[in-house]
Structure formats: C-alpha cells, structure tokens
A and B are shown apart, each in its own frame.
Chain A
Amino acid sequence: DGGITQSPKYLFRKEGQNVTLSCEQNLNHDAMYWYRQDPGQGLRLIYYSQIVNDFQKGDIAEGYSVSREKKESFPLTVTSAQKNPTAFYLCASSIAAGTNSGNTIYFGEGSWLTVV
C-alpha cells in the first residue's frame, strides 16, 4: 500500500517531556510537511522540507524540531518548550514538481497528542 504512515495515532505526554511523532512515506515525494490542527480550527504549518537534509520553519515552529535524514522520513519532536502541545498533528508530502505547478499534498491519518 502506498501512502503516508504516522505513528502513534494517540499519544499521551506528561508535562516536561519530549515526544517524537513518526512520519514515513513511500510515495517517493521530495517535499514533506508537518501541520498542527486544534479542535475546530484550521491547519497551521510547523515545519516543511523540500529536500533531504534541508528543512524550513513554518508559522509556528517554536517548541518543535524536525530532521530529514532520509527522503521517506520526517519525524517531529514536540519539546517541553512547547507550552500548549495538545492537538492533532498531520504529516503530509508532495512531489516538488516546480513552484509554478500544482503539488498535490497527501496527508497521513494524523496523530493525537494529549498532555496529561
């Protein structure tokens, strides 16, 4: 099955702990993204990566970190510096076909993170 796999689907974190959300894609896509969605809200961009070993901050990068050591993997770490981390996290990927073309974004199933 081709697609984007996120794990875990549900995660509980104690205050002060770092947690890492996994995202793997087998679509051979160059670009990968992490979005945060709060209940009833839109999607906000945390980090994005256009190519291996390179990534850029999105609009709400504070308290988060990422790595892109392999094309198919883009893990997100939610650090203790993120003061309000409870949210739905969506990983996504797209072909980086050129910035003047459409680049359909495919999403994973998402990960629910709750701070307890």
Chain B
Amino acid sequence: GQQVMQIPQYQHVQEGEDFTTYCNSSTTLSNIQWYKQRPGGHPVFLIQLVKSGEVKKQKRLTFQFGEAKKNSSLHITATQTTDVGTYFCAGAGMGTYKYIFGTGTRLKVLA
C-alpha cells in the first residue's frame, strides 16, 4: 500500500537557523498538503501543492513538489520559537481521496 515517509524524524535548531523536512511517497500523488501540529493540538493546514515542480512561499516557509509528484519539501528560513511543532505532509494517490500522512518531523527551536 501507499507509504509516505518523512525525514528527519526530529530536528533541534538554534533560533535563527534554517530547517528543512523532506517527504517521500512510494506512489505518485495527485497533490500534497502540509500540516503543522503544535504540542497538545490537532494538525492545522498550511498549504497544498498540485502541479509537478510547483513551488510556493508563505513568508519564511517555502514548499516544493517534486517533478515526479512523489516527493516534497518544506524549508523554514530563520526559525523562530513559534515554529515549534510537528510538521506533516499528506498525500493521496491518483484517483483517490485516501489521504495518507507522513511520519512527521518534530521541530524544536532553542532560544
């Protein structure tokens, strides 16, 4: 079945450093979404990417969708303590609404 892996599993950075998490799917995705879950909370939608090779930016966050629509990345520039949380990617295979979430990357930012 479809699997979605993320690396790294954990990342500790000093405030102001950059951070990147990578998402890899075993199958081609129709689209990919990114979510952030704060400790004790529920996942909250950040962005969706649909087109092959698409790049989107939200302030300090940059999202990319691979050409083959099987991988994606999230890059945060100059992390802040408010960026703390777990970042998940989620994707569905072509022709399905079965959204599988990645394993997540837990980010800690040290002030």
Interface 9-mer from A19-27, A63-71, A72-80, A106-114 = A106-114
Chain B 96-111, CB-CB to A under 8 Å as 1, else 0, gives 1111111110100000
Q: Which of B48, B92, B97, B106 contacts A104 (CB 8 A)?
A: B48
The complex places the Cα of A65 from the Cα of B44 at a distance, in Å, of: 26
Chain A residues, Cβ within 8 Å of B101: 35, 42-45
The complex places the Cα of A104 from the Cα of B97 at a distance, in Å, of: 11
Chain B residues, Cβ within 8 Å of A100: 30-31, 50, 94
Known contacts A35-B101, A59-B100, A94-B97: A106-B45 contact under CB 8 Å = yes
Main secondary structure of the interface of A (DSSP, over half): loop
Contact status A43-B43, CB under 8 Å: yes
Which residue of chain A lies nearest to B102 when distances are taken between CB atoms in the complex? Answer: A42
Number of interface residues of B (CB under 8 A): 28
The complex places the Cα of A41 from the Cα of B105 at a distance, in Å, of: 10
Contact status B43-A42, CB under 8 Å: no
Chain A residues, Cβ within 8 Å of B44: 107
Q: Which of A44, A90, A99, A105 contacts B96 (CB 8 A)?
A: A99
Known contacts A90-B42, A107-B43: A45-B100 contact under CB 8 Å = yes
The complex places the Cα of A26 from the Cα of B87 at a distance, in Å, of: 27
Chain A residues, Cβ within 8 Å of B99: 33, 45, 48, 94, 103, 105
Contact status B42-A110, CB under 8 Å: yes
- A52 on the interface (CB 8 Å rule)? no
Contact status B42-A105, CB under 8 Å: no
The complex places the Cα of A23 from the Cα of B109 at a distance, in Å, of: 34
Chain B residues, Cβ within 8 Å of A31: 97
Contact status A102-B97, CB under 8 Å: no
Q: Could you list which residues of chain A lie within 8 angstroms of chain B, going by C-beta atoms?
A: 31, 33, 35, 40-45, 48, 50, 56, 58-59, 90, 94, 96, 99-110
Q: Could you list which residues of chain B lie within 8 angstroms of chain A, going by C-beta atoms?
A: 1, 6, 30-31, 33, 35, 42-45, 48-50, 88, 90, 92, 94-104, 106
